[in-house]
């Protein structure tokens, strides 16, 4: 069974972004490295403050859209319910600093093939 994640990342000033991915560690690292041009890199939104796991991509996309449609206060309540201090839930994943931009992420062990995905959302419909 594939696993999909709906997540919320925040800046230190608590600017929020909600997204969906099939690889949460890679996606958070992309945000931390500012590999995703746009809102999150512009406003330094790179601290994982909420995530949930779903087993179906359509359900994950639907959940992401639902959360994106909420007022900020409801998103904040969701975060606080599971993470009252707004701790970066990924702070222990990469050590003190995330790996350098050029280190890449191995696609397969010992193949040397690097994976740099701009968007891992499959097209639905």
Q: Is residue 46 assigned to a domain?
A: yes
What pLDDT, in 10s, does the model give residues 13-32?
A: 999 999 999 999 999 999 99
Q: Is residue 114 assigned to a domain?
A: no
Residue-number span of the structural domain to which 52 is assigned: 4-103
Q: Is residue 117 assigned to a domain?
A: no
Q: Is residue 54 assigned to a domain?
A: yes
What pLDDT, in 10s, does the model give residues 35-65?
A: 988 999 999 999 999 999 999 999 999 999 9
Based on the structure, what is the number of domains in the chain?
1
Q: Is residue 17 assigned to a domain?
A: yes
Q: Which of 13, 55, 7 is nearest to 31 (CA)?
A: 7
Predicted pLDDT at 73? 98
Confidence of residue 83 (pLDDT cuts 50, 70, 90): very high
CATH number at residue 25: 3.40.1440.10
What pLDDT, in 10s, does the model give residues 92-108?
A: 988 765 555 544 443 33
Q: Is residue 88 assigned to a domain?
A: yes
Q: Is residue 91 assigned to a domain?
A: yes
């Amino acid at each position: 069974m594939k696993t999909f994640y709906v997540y919320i990342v925040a800046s230190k000033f608590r600017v929020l972004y909600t997204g969906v991915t099939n690889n949460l560690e890679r996606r958070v690292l992309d945000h931390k490295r500012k590999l995703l041009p746009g809102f999150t890199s512009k406003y330094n939104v790179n601290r994982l403050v909420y995530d949930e796991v779903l087993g179906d991509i359509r359900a994950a996309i639907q959940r992401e859209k639902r959360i994106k449609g909420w007022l900020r206060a409801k998103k904040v309540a969701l975060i606080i319910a599971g993470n009252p201090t707004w701790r970066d839930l990924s702070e222990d994943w990469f050590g003190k600093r995330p790996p350098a931009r050029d280190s890449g992420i191995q696609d397969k062990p010992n193949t040397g093939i690097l994976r740099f995905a701009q968007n891992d959302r499959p097209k639905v419909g």
